[in-house]
Amino acid sequence: MRSLLLAGGIVFILAGPTWIQLLGGYLTPLARSWRMYKLVGIANCEVRYERSLPDGRTEPVDRMAVLGAERPRNHGMYRLANAQTVRQHSQALCKALGPGADLRLHARCPSLEGWTVIDEGHASVCR
């Protein structure tokens, strides 16, 4: 009896997503699609900073080293979740680098529709 219940449960778990994803079926309360990992990574912007040198070259900036953090104590400093937090973090970096710093930001944030470009590094974020 247990084996029959187990086999029935396995068929139920696999049949719904298979019906929808592979066979083109439609959603019903019993037939659900696979939704694993749908929102994982949505709150993690891809951010890269570069410093322009007087001779025209650029060098990468380690934002954690500039802000004096070897290992972040809070995720707000480490994980930049949206355009607003990226801009706030950029201003903190500008303040740490001092007046006249030429800091270029390359940033994009994910959404369900794709990537949203925040800045492409054409101008300094320190103003």
Each of the 127 residues of the chain gets a pLDDT tens digit; together they read 899 999 988 887 777 777 666 666 666 666 666 666 667 778 889 999 999 888 889 899 988 888 877 665 655 557 788 899 999 989 999 999 988 889 999 999 988 888 899 999 899 999 7
Are residue 94 and residue 61 in the same domain, yes or no?
A: yes
Are residue 61 and residue 113 in the same domain, yes or no?
A: yes
In-domain check, residue 74: yes
Residue 75, judged by CB atoms within 10 A of its CB (0-12, 13-18, 19+), counts as exposed
Give pLDDT, residue 9. Answer: 84
In-domain check, residue 41: no
In-domain check, residue 97: yes
In-domain check, residue 104: yes
* Structural domain count, the chain: 2
Identify the domain containing residue 24 by its residue range: 1-36
Integer angstrom CA distances of residue 24 from 17, 18, 31, 33, 36: 10, 9, 12, 11, 18
